[in-house]
Amino acid sequence: MSEDINKIPSQIIYNNLKEMIRAKNTAHESIFKFHWKKMWPFSLIWPQVDFIRIVRLMGELRKNVTSQKALVKEAKTKAKPYEKTFLDTVPAYLDSLDASCKGLADVAQWKQDMLEKKLHNDVKMVRDVSEYNQILKTYEKAQKDLVQAGAFVRAGWVEALKGFMDENEGETCKP
């Protein structure tokens, strides 16, 4: 926490975004990434993906998105001119992250329901994958939007870094 005192608000927000996306990507990989432990007979030995925890984690990330939006709004009032572009792009990125987290939670919930063999819409889910296909398409669109918004955030962050470096060079060059 003491190291955050010397940071500008944009740096804190950027670090928070990195941590949130790292958590989301880890959950994504645990659901979708191929691993030999997921294959039979190894799946009988090693525990499988805990979909309930992923749903809970995505809920926590969505709450953090809301708090980050408030932090961005507060940071905009104190921001220096070179931080404005970055701070203007972050809310759209947070909205995309929220949609992506919701989509990933829906995927995890559907898979958990499959494990529990729950009935959904009075149809056994063993054969009906059309709903899952729709969930995956929604998640895929949310991921695409997140990547596009991330490009704008990255560009804004590079601009903020240049401004921060120029400001620091100006201070060190003064006699």
In a domain, 169, yes or no: no
Q: Where residue 56 sits, what CATH number does that domain have?
A: 1.20.120
Which residues pair with residue 119 across a beta bridge? 124
Q: How far apart are CA 140 and CA 171, in angstroms?
A: 46
In a domain, 43, yes or no: yes
Structure confidence at residue 111 (pLDDT): 85
Structure confidence at residue 44 (pLDDT): 65
Overall number of domains in the chain:
1
Contacts of 13 (CB under 8 A, 6+ apart): 68, 71, 72, 75, 87, 90
In a domain, 175, yes or no: no
In a domain, 41, yes or no: yes
In a domain, 119, yes or no: yes
Q: How far apart are CA 48 and CA 38, in angstroms?
A: 7
B/e letters for 51-83, b = 16+ CB within 10 Å, e = fewer, are beebbebbeebbebbeebeebbeebeeebeebb
In a domain, 52, yes or no: yes
CB of 75 closer than 8 Å to CB of 10? yes
Q: How far apart are CA 125 and CA 132, in angstroms?
A: 9
Q: Is the pLDDT of residue 166 over 90?
A: no
In a domain, 170, yes or no: no
The pLDDT confidence band at residue 3, using thresholds 50, 70 and 90, is: low
Query: What tens digit of pLDDT does each residue of 115-161 get?
Result: 777 665 555 555 567 888 999 999 999 999 999 999 999 999 999 98
Query: Which domain range does residue 94 map to?
Result: 2-164
Q: Which residue, 27, 5, 28, 4, is CA-closest to 16?
A: 4
In a domain, 171, yes or no: no
CB of 54 closer than 8 Å to CB of 30? yes
- The pTM is what? 0.82
Contacts of 113 (CB under 8 A, 6+ apart): 120, 125
